[in-house]
Structure 1
Amino acid sequence: MANKGPSYGLSRECMQKAQAKFDMDQALEALAWIEAVTGRPLLENGMSYKDQFEVMQVLKDGEALCELVNAIAPGIVKKINRSKLAFKQMENIELFLTACKQLGMKDVDVFQTQDLYEGKNMYIVINCIHILGSLAQKHDFQGPVIGVKLADMNKRNFGEEKLKAGQHVIGLQMGTNKGASQAGMTAYGMTRHM
């Protein structure tokens, strides 16, 4: 958000919609989970979060996120940059996103680096952390949990006989031809006799 002037028109509307989607309760839950998993306090001296800008400032360097995925899958992020240079912090965020994809997160659930670094769409960042918590449960992570547990695939294999039996059934969505007849119908243009 640094070095940016005020937004006008459609840009402003889009920015306001993105900010309206941010839920501070979900953000606090996600940050508490990060602290519980990593053992790293995100705020000093018992301070509290007031808005999404403060949440962004805490996560912006990407260090806590990289430590989080390393706690879930040890060694998935090889080297965490501790530098305060902007491109090193953005590299940490990118390493976190790559690790999320390696753990099985879908591309639509992953945010872009500037969503966090510039604080553009913080609700997507928080959503990604909640989904990571769900993936952690699926990968048998034994630490604290967040989010819902994802369902396991229940693949079924039917034999050839069972598949052929299903070809002769008319589904109710297709309708039925029972009771239908053309009795009493007249040709086009003819008068109907009563």
Structure 2
Amino acid sequence: MSNHRAEKSGFAREAQMKMQAKYDPELASQCLSWMKTLLKSRGEAAEFTTDGSASNLHAALENGYCLCKLMNILSPGSIPDKKLAKKETMAFKKMELIGLFCDKAKEYGVPQEEVFQTVDLYEQQNLYQVVVCLSSLARKAQKNGHIGFGPKESEENKRDFTDEQLKAGQGIIGLQMGTNKGASQAGMNIGKTRHIVD
């Protein structure tokens, strides 16, 4: 955690502990390996190890530089080169790069709920969400013809039916609606009959 934040307590601490328990070092290591492979394939420096520990993930990504370089490989020109002229040392510049990466990841197709917030990475608030975002980005990259990992994303299979085909389907009772094959409840008695005496 950042040195500038107070220790959490009570329910906030419980919530923080649950988030930290979700962190998967193996998946984090996969994400870092994927990033390193892509960066090296384009001649970019990838000066970080692929150890999946939370501290290593934070150290590798906290300045936002590698994330933005990765985004420019997947979507060329998405982040201006002048922003990546050097590795930033000032906190607000690092956070700006992380924010840029998050915005461009959404544009690339990563769903909003899988993108992390800047403080999740910079202040180590929720590194699990950072890993979720990177693995989602890897799936999108795979779909767009780049190196990636994870399950293959589904593709749309749009179908167009003619009016005749649609009308033919209206006369068929679907099995989920059930059918009684012509049976009725005629002559059916359940339970004891009620005797009414005058």
Normalising by structure 2, report the TM-score: 0.85
Partner of 2:54: 52
2:154 to 151, 154, 167: 151
Alpha-carbon shift at residue 32 of structure 1 (Å): 1.1
- The secondary structure found in structure 2 opposite 1:61 is coil
Check the 8 A contact 2:33/2:50 in 1, yes or no.
Answer: no
Q: CA RMSD in A?
A: 2.2
CA shift at 1:65, angstroms? 0.5
SS in 1 for 2:133: helix
Classify the secondary structure of the residue corresponding to 2:194: coil
Native 8 Å contact 2:64 2:98 kept in 1: yes
Tell me how far 1:5 sits from its aligned partner: 2.8
2:112 is the counterpart of 1:111: no
1:54-69 counterparts in 2 under 5 A?
A: 54-69=56-71
1:155 and 1:36 map into 2 onto residues whose CA distance is 35
Q: Which runs of 5+ in 1 are unaligned?
A: none
Residues 1-194 of structure 1: matches in 2 within 5 Å?
A: 1-2=1-2, 3-39=4-40, 40-43=45-48, 49=51, 51-79=53-81, 80-81=83-84, 82-141=87-146, 144-185=147-188, 190-191=193-194
Question: Is the CA contact (8 Å cut-off) linking 2:64 and 2:97 kept in structure 1?
Answer: yes
Cα 1:12/1:187, change in 2 over 3 Å: closer
Q: Structure 1, residues 56-77: CA drift from partner, whole Å, max 9, x if none?
A: 1221111100000111111111
Structure 2 CA distance for partners of 1:147 and 1:86, relative to 1, 3 Å: same
What is the letter of the counterpart of residue 98 of structure 1?
D
**Of 78-87 and 151-160, the range deviating more from structure 2:** 78-87
How many residues are paired up?
Answer: 187
Q: TM-score, normalised by structure 1?
A: 0.87
Distance across 2 between alignment mates of 1:167 and 1:56: 58
